[in-house]
Every structure is written in C-alpha cells, then in structure tokens.
Amino acid sequence: MDQMLAEFWQNPSSVHRPGQQARHRVELARKQLAGLIGARPRQITLCGSGTEAIDLAIRGSLLAQGRVGGALRREPGAIITSKVEHVGVRDLAGALEKEEGARTLWAELDGAGRVRAESVRELLAAHSDVALVSIQWANNETGVVHPVREIGAICRERGVPFHTDATQWVGKVRVEEGVEGSRHQGIKGGTESAALDAFDLLTFSPHKFHGPKGVGVLYCRPGVRTSPLIHGEQEQGRRGGTENVPGIVGAGVAAELAMAWLAEPSNIAKGRTMRDRFERTVLTGVPDAVVNGIGPGVERLWNTSSIGFSRLEAEALLLLLSERGVCASAGAACASGSLEPSPVLRAMGIPAEVAHGTLRFSVSRETTTEEIEQAARIVMECVARLRASMSAVS
C-alpha cells in the first residue's frame, strides 16, 4: 500500500504508462480476491465497503429486475431476509419498504438464532412476488452459521435470486467448506469453484481478514444482473468512481495471505480451541454467564464468542475492560440515553437481563494462548468488580 501511494498513485483509468501500471496492480488484486472464493476475476466488482457491496447486490438486483427506481415497470414485490442480519441489510430492507413499496418477509429462526431453511421454502411457496432472498452466511454478533447452501438450492428451484452476506465467513473459513469435490485452483488456475453454485450474489469485506478498511467485494454469478447505484465507467460500468488503488492492492495481498492460512486445516482447529478455552475459563469464573448461539447441531465461526453477563450493563463492562487492555464490542447501541439490547439478540429471544450485558469477543489468526488466558482473567475480574460496585450502591 505504501508503494501504491508513493510510486503508483496515478489514475488507473488513464491510458499513459504509469496509469496502466496502477491498473495492472488493481487487476492483480481482483484476481487474488476472486481466487480466495473460487470465482473468476470478471465476476468481481470492487466497492468502497462491504455495506456498499450489500446495497449494490440487493438494490442493484431489484433495479435490474425493474422492481424499484422511478416509474416501476413491475410491482416492487417482496424481499425475504432475517432479523439477525447485519444492519446494512436490515436497514436497507426498511428503506426499500418506505421508499419503494417493497415488502419484507422475515424468515423464522430456531432457538440458537439460525435461519430455518424450511421457513424460506414456505415463504417462497406462499408469496409468488418474491424478488430476492438475502440471508447472511454467519452472524456478526454470535458467529452462528446459517444453512445458506440449502437456502440457495431452494431459491434456485424457485428461480429467485439469492444473496448472502459472507463478510464474516470469507477469509476465516474456506468457501468450499463442506462441498464435495469443490476445491478450486484459486489464483493460479482462475477456475470457478463449485462451492459458489448456491449463490447468485455474494458480498464480503477484506478488513475482516486483516485487509484494509474501505474496500468491499461483490461476486455475481454469470447471468445475474445488477444495475449500478453509482454511475460511471469504472468496474465495467457496474460501479462508478475512481478506484481506491492502495486499499484494493492491500485487499488483494490480504486475500493471498488468507488463502495460505486456510490451506492448513490445523489453523482453524487451533483458533476454535482458543475460543472454547476462553469461554470455558470465563464460565468457570462467572458461572451464570451465558454463551449465546449454542444449540444442538449449531455451527459457529471459530473466531466469535457472544457472552451474556446477567444483570450487568455492557457499556460499563466495556469501559472497565478497555482500561485493562481488553478490546471487545457490545451487542447494543445507546439510544436516547438508555442502553438497548441489539436487534440480533432480541430476535433470538435472549432474555433482556442477559442481552443488556452481552459482549462479543473475537480471536484472530494472530491471537496467542497467553492472550486468551490473560483476557479471560481480566473479564472475570471486571465482572466481579462491577457486581461488587453495584451491590455497594444498592
């Protein structure tokens, strides 16, 4: 990225030699990003963020179908999604309802917060005007993995486009995981992976696998159309705007490094072991804590842990942890001076006293066992300190 800023800062759309050198680096990064998911480079559209890529996938698909935008050629129809989606999907569905008259149909969840594939099938059977289905691959707060391949097959049977927000999955787990005979040749061969057969549209963001922020990626299956939301000649007319060359190049390198890491299966096993060790240690010290997203047969991402601490406020606990060097996130947002549980936790039916005190912890491929042990000890100490202060006040 430093080299791009210092030496190849020229506009990649320029025809002069320096501009074309910048273009070459962009196209190499596109190939690297395509290789990470087993796609062909021409199926990749580079955006400014994962959220923008989601918007282009969903709104762009509806525009291409003539469902939204100005004088409608067709009725807006319905979108099937879930209440545990990333806010970029949930809020977009709400905006399309308000601005374009589209309807949102909510797929049912099981007890662990996983989308029921059969619910999607039932909604498709009951509503003939469904224009798109959008279900995330894995949840950004709990790490719960949804049955996206099964849902994709159901959508294909009905001829309805299927989008998956794969931001939490790509770069952390192989896209071809669980698909027989789908290992792709990746960067060198440039062949498309059978693992993508379930998806019409797939979006992800390299900053989730150690890449830079400010880059999003949209994969479109051949034959699937999207209309641009930002007009211009860049990205084959799919998305206008001069490319963020340093960010894109950094994203390509991150994709290449992620592929190398994923090529060794023991790496994921090691990450899962550290996550489980962290959870066991915390639960031993705080017996009434709850790990969200656990259920029979439920798969979770190896790097994500959502733990609820009953009768505590997440914001207060976060401040204590931050002072001790532990960086975590709350599944909550401050609204009108009061802390409200996250929509994801509410949709899962998590009791309010647990949801209010839920934090999300993440490990990465660089996390060490020593850091896990230290973090767990600090969490237990901070919970005890906060509860002691609450008891003193009461």
For the chain, domains (ranges, CATH) are: 2-262 (3.40.640.10), 266-393 (3.90.1150.10)
Distant-in-sequence, close-in-space partners of 198: CB < 8 Å, separation ≥ 6: 148, 149, 151, 152, 153, 156, 162, 164
pLDDT higher than threshold 90 for residue 314: yes
DSSP assignment letter at 260 = H
pLDDT higher than threshold 80 for residue 148: yes
Using a 10 angstrom Cβ sphere, with 0-12 exposed, 13-18 middle and 19 or more buried, the burial of residue 17 is: exposed
Spatial contact of 224 and 84, defined as CB atoms under 8 Å apart: no
Q: Which amino acid is at 381?
A: E
Q: Report the pLDDT value the prediction gives residue 74, as an integer from 0 to 100.
A: 75
- The alpha-helical segments, DSSP class H, found in 196-265 are 245-262
Helix (H, G, I), strand (E, B) or coil at 339: strand
pLDDT higher than threshold 60 for residue 189: no
- The alpha-helical segments, DSSP class H, found in the chain are 2-6, 17-37, 50-64, 87-100, 117-126, 148-158, 186-189, 245-262, 266-285, 314-323, 343-348, 352-355, 369-393
Q: Report the pLDDT value the prediction gives residue 393, as an integer from 0 to 100.
A: 75
Mode of pairing for the β-strands spanning 201-204 and 290-291: unpaired
Which among 220, 327, 334, 382 is annotated as catalytic? 334
Q: Which amino acid is at 271?
A: G
Q: Can you tell me the mean pLDDT for 83-105?
A: 96
- Total length of the chain: 394
Nearest to 296 by CA among 147, 172, 110: 110
Q: Can you tell me the mean pLDDT for 370-379?
A: 98
pLDDT band at 339 (very low <50, low <70, confident <90, very high): low
* Distinct helix (H) and strand (E) counts, the chain: 13, 13
pLDDT band at 180 (very low <50, low <70, confident <90, very high): low
Give the strands of the sheet with 358-362, arranged side by side: 290-291, 304-308, 358-362, 329-330
Catalytic residue list contains 334:
yes
pLDDT higher than threshold 60 for residue 77: yes
- Rounded to whole angstroms, how far apart are CA atoms 72 and 347? 33
- Rounded to whole angstroms, how far apart are CA atoms 229 and 221? 19
- Rounded to whole angstroms, how far apart are CA atoms 388 and 377? 17
Please give the model's pTM, rounded to 2 decimal places.
Answer: 0.93
DSSP assignment letter at 192 = P
- Rounded to whole angstroms, how far apart are CA atoms 147 and 135? 9
- Rounded to whole angstroms, how far apart are CA atoms 289 and 296? 19
Q: What percent of the chain has pLDDT over 90?
A: 86
- Rounded to whole angstroms, how far apart are CA atoms 138 and 164? 9
Q: What percent of the chain has pLDDT over 70?
A: 93
Q: Report the pLDDT value the prediction gives residue 192, as an integer from 0 to 100.
A: 62
pLDDT higher than threshold 80 for residue 105: yes
**Backbone angles phi and psi of 307, in degrees to 5:** -120, 125
Distant-in-sequence, close-in-space partners of 112: CB < 8 Å, separation ≥ 6: 144, 293, 294, 295, 298, 348
DSSP assignment letter at 300 = B
Q: Which helix (H) or strand (E) holds 291?
A: strand 290-291
pLDDT higher than threshold 90 for residue 299: yes
Q: Report the pLDDT value the prediction gives residue 381, as an integer from 0 to 100.
A: 98
CA dihedral of residues 326, 321, 277, 273 (deg, nearest 10): -30
Q: Can you tell me the mean pLDDT for 333-352?
A: 74
Q: Which amino acid is at 294?
A: I
| Mean confidence (pLDDT) of the chain | 92
Nearest to 358 by CA among 335, 333, 394: 333
Cα dihedral sign, 144-147-152-154: negative
N- to C-terminal Cα separation, the chain: 54
pLDDT higher than threshold 90 for residue 79: yes
